[in-house]
Amino acid sequence: MNAARVGVITFPGSLDDRDAARAVRLAGAEAVSLWHADHDLRGVDAVILPGGFSYGDYLRAGAISRFAPLMEELVPAARAGLPVLGICNGFQVLCESHLLPGALLPNAGLHFVCRDQRLRIDNADTAWTAEYTEGQEVVIPVKNRDGRYVADERTLAELEDEGRVVARYLDLNPNGSLNDIAGICNEAGNVVGLMPHPEHAVESLTGPSTDGLGFFTSLVKAGLSRAGVR
Partner 1 sequence: MARVVVDVMLKPEILDPQGQAIARKLPQMGFEGVTEVRQGKRFELELAGPADEAALERVRQIAGTLLANPVIETFEVRVLDE
Q: Which of 96, 131, 185, 197 is catalytic?
A: 197
How many other C-beta atoms lie within 10 A of the C-beta of residue 47?
A: 25
Give the pairing of strands 46-49 and 5-10.
parallel
Crossing angle (nearest 10°) for helices 213-221 and 17-26: 50
32 - beta bridge partners?
7
CA distances from 213 to 36, 150, 201 (A): 25, 27, 7
Site string for partner 1, 79-98 (x = CB under 8 A): ----------------xx--
Question: Can you tell me which of 15, 26, 150, 170 binds partner 1, judged by CB under 8 A?
Answer: 150
Site for partner 1 in 109-148 (CB under 8 A): 109-110, 148
Question: Can you tell me which of 26, 41, 77, 105 binds partner 1, judged by CB under 8 A?
Answer: 105
Counting contacts by CB under 8 A, is residue 102 touching partner 1? Answer: yes
Q: Is 199 a catalytic residue?
A: yes
Counting contacts by CB under 8 A, is residue 107 touching partner 1? Answer: yes
- Of 116 and 158, which CB lies nearer to partner 1 in the complex structure? 158
184 - beta bridge partners?
165, 193
Q: Is 187 a catalytic residue?
A: no
- Of 104 and 202, which CB lies nearer to partner 1 in the complex structure? 104
Which stretches of 97-226 are DSSP H helices?
Answer: 153-161, 213-221
Counting contacts by CB under 8 A, is residue 37 touching partner 1? Answer: no
Q: Which of 78, 80, 75 is nearest to 65 (CA)?
A: 75
Give the pairing of strands 191-194 and 84-87.
parallel
| Distance, CA of 149 to CA of 105 (rounded, Å) | 7
Q: Interacting stretch for partner 1, rule CB under 8 A, among 55-63, 75-83, 115-123, 138-146?
A: 55-63
Counting contacts by CB under 8 A, is residue 176 touching partner 1? Answer: yes
CB 30 within 8 A of CB 3: yes
Counting contacts by CB under 8 A, is residue 67 touching partner 1? Answer: yes
Q: Interacting stretch for partner 1, rule CB under 8 A, among 102-110, 122-130, 139-147, 187-195?
A: 102-110
How many other C-beta atoms lie within 10 A of the C-beta of residue 121?
A: 24
- Of 28 and 69, which CB lies nearer to partner 1 in the complex structure? 69
Q: Is 162 a catalytic residue?
A: no
Give the pairing of strands 165-169 and 113-121.
antiparallel
- Of 26 and 105, which CB lies nearer to partner 1 in the complex structure? 105
Question: Would you name the residues annotated as active-site residues?
Answer: 88, 197, 199
Give me the residues that bind partner 1 (CB under 8 A), please: 59-60, 63-64, 67, 95-96, 101-103, 105-110, 148, 150-152, 176
